[in-house]
Amino acid sequence: MDLQQRVLQEIKREEVVALTQELVRIPSYYGVPGVETKVARFIADFLQREGITAATEEIFEERSNVYAALPGKAGGRSLLFCGHIDTVPPHNMEIEPFEAYLAEGKIYGRGAADMKGGVAAMLVAMAALKRAGVQLSGDVRFAGVVGEESPNTSEGARALVEKGIKTDMAIIGEATNLEIAAAHKGMEWLKIEVRGKAAHGSVPQNGINAISKAAKIIQAIETGVVPRLKQRIHPLVGSPTINIGRIEGGVLNNIVPDSCWFSLDRRWIPGETLEEVLSELQAVIDGLHAEDPELEAKIIQQPETLGRGPMEIESDHPLVLALGHAVRQQLGKEPVVKGVVYWTDGAHLSRAGIPTVVFGPGDIAQAHAAVEFVETEQLFKAAQIYALTALEVCS
């Protein structure tokens, strides 16, 4: 029996299904005590029972990452499996969120697709490598990280990078329908504060209407910036976008508003820089101010999207090729290499110089859904593909 067969023989469909169910049954959304920590401890216990070194580490407010490693003989390339272990809240779900019931080849529950299914597949892949007695040249590591879904700034992935993790490559297990995501957009939330001058509503000429000035800026963005963004096209993720999401200003109808703010979501593509994103909007404000000196506004970066830049890896990178080989072998079809429009923790790893792809079971359309599920066949295949990729990368 060759090495691949030995490892694949250790991956059981029923195990990855059961492990996914157990993870889903542990609530880990923002609002429960410790959020992800019970999941982190469960994962550490599972890996330790398999003889794999694993430990949890508190990152902030009693919320813990979990780390594990299968050490190589040294000298080989290392691979990190990484996934967030928090979920969005179960509010307004149409199913029992934590029952993790199995029906018609699907596991239903909060986090099944996003992304406890991917995490379970990674854990089973590591356990299979250990059980098969594989001695690779490079390390295979795992990191379950906090804070990707909660109203913070991916503290878990940022802590991983700040610790100085050194791996040659990484896979983020977000749901991609077992297609290889070699790029995704960055995400920047910006607040634009507009200043005016208060006056009585009966004499508006004595004031400066901040709402009217804000409307000018919004109009200039919609008619000037948005068309330019549509002309910038990345081959995998398409064009950058802007969405004006909120606006607030004024006190009463009979008072000229002296302040107004609006906020926006700017999705930026590989090849753009954050400096360019900010300067493009600043140029709009500067141009309007030159025409209308009473228009005063400033741009404020929102802390929720700190460091959430884009990610990209070359389509012929050894990690992409290794994943492609495993996909071809286990799915019997040519691998799809694509981009995704959503953001992932892979951006933090990529910015730290670790070539990263996104690949996992499940459909992103199910993430955060009222009826969230993941197909058991995809879970099983993902575990196989993760294990085979580690064999090729780390041998």
DSSP for 162-201 reads HTT---SEEEE----TT-EEEEE-EEEEEEEEEE-B-EET
Pick the catalytic residue from 86, 139, 258, 375: 86
Active site residue 86: yes
Nearest 10 degrees: CA dihedral of 377, 382, 388, 394? -170
Does residue 372 have an active-site annotation? Answer: no
Distance, CA of 50 to CA of 58 (rounded, Å): 23
Helix pair 117-131, 376-394: axis angle to 10 deg: 50
148, 168, 363, 372: the active-site residue: 148
**d(C-alpha 107, C-alpha 101), whole Å:** 6
In which element (H, E) is residue 81 found? strand 79-84
With a CB cutoff of 8 Å and minimum separation 6, the contacts of 254 are: 200, 201, 202
Helix, strand, or coil (residue 249): strand
> Quick count: other Cβ atoms within 10 Å of Cβ 331?
16
Query: Which element (helix H / strand E) includes 160?
Result: helix 155-162
Beta carbons of 370 and 6 less than 8 angstroms apart:
no
User: Of all residues in the chain, what percent are helix, strand and coil, respectively (each to 5)?
Assistant: 35, 25, 35
Per the listing, tokens 């490079």 go with: 138
Could you tell me which of 165, 139, 109, 184 has the C-alpha nearest to residue 362?
Answer: 109
Cβ contacts of residue 148 below 8 Å, gap of 6+? Answer: 84, 86, 154, 156, 157, 344, 345
Q: Quickly list H helices, 117-154.
A: 117-131
Catalytic residues: 86, 148
